[in-house]
Structure 1
Amino acid sequence: MQIKKLYDFKCQVCQITIQTKLGHYAEGAHIKPLGKPHNGDDNPDNLICLCPNHHIMFDKGVFSITDKLKLIGALSGELIINSNHKLNFSNLQYHRQIHGFK
């Protein structure tokens, strides 16, 4: 929840938030997936705030993120990052590796 609040429920890729009857909606996406075989953790440095569309695209490897926070694959641009949000770059590297990005 804290990552979504940090970004005011706006996607770090497209800046869209979804308005629902209960308030704004966004999803916390794990960079390195939880559980076996990936063993990612549930810490803020392994989470990004995404809209549902970009969450699925990220999880399926349609795009990934470089260590310089550039979007690669089917998307271009940059991941919007709050100065209070420190990412674990080894998780970004893992995501690129498992999805075939160099």
Structure 2
Amino acid sequence: MKIEVVYALPNEQTVKQLELPEGTTAMDAVNQSGIIEQYPEIKELELKLGIFSKGCEPDYVLSDGERVEIYRPLAADPKEIRKRRATEIAAKKAAEKELKAAAKAEGSD
């Protein structure tokens, strides 16, 4: 059966296409892909796997055509990122409002 194993970093993505026997697990596919040898830092991670963006256990038995994804830990808390982005947008809007008010005040002189 045909299986893909993928691992993505912020600036690069690795996709390995494999031909594996029926009964192969997600972890078997990762091990046979050679990605762990290519990216040794994966050994240090608590390995999280998924199939087409849905988490799975390492012993999940694969079906033909599935893609095993190796997930990295989040670099930042998504809530904090959204909060920071909202603060930046609010500050930008306030600055634009001030500029418009200043331009309007100059125009009325």
Larger fraction in helix: 2
Which TM class, normalised by the smaller chain length?
A: under 0.3
TM-score (norm 2): 0.25
Larger fraction in strand: 2
TM-score (norm 1): 0.26
